[in-house]
Amino acid sequence: MSEKEKTFDVDKLLKNKLKNVSIGTLETAIAKVVSELVGEDYKCTISEVKYTLFSGADFHVKVELTYNPNE
């Protein structure tokens, strides 16, 4: 096989590992990163999740400032 020829592990491509990741875990992680970047507390909501072939996912992400009346 020449270096130009590549082989793909089709099973690996079709086995979407994202399905094993909790949506809640993704929401928490995104909210944490945004909060750290902006310096304010944010929350994240993920909806309309559609898993795709080749280990991908399409989803709607909503990020909002957390309202805290005590501040």
Phi, psi of 5 (to 5 degrees): -85, 130
Give the three-state DSSP class for 45. Answer: strand
Model pTM score: 0.72
Contact, 30 vs 21, CB < 8 A? no
Residue 18 gets which letter from DSSP? G
Cα 11 from Cα 33, distance rounded (Å) = 32
What does the pLDDT read at residue 17?
A: 85
What does the pLDDT read at residue 35?
A: 96
Burial (0-12, 13-18, 19+ Cβ within 10 Å), 63? middle
Domain-by-domain residue ranges, the chain?
Answer: 16-65
Q: How would you write the pLDDT of the chain (71 residues) with one tens digit per residue? A: 555 667 777 777 678 888 889 999 999 999 999 999 999 999 999 999 999 877 889 999 999 999 766 65
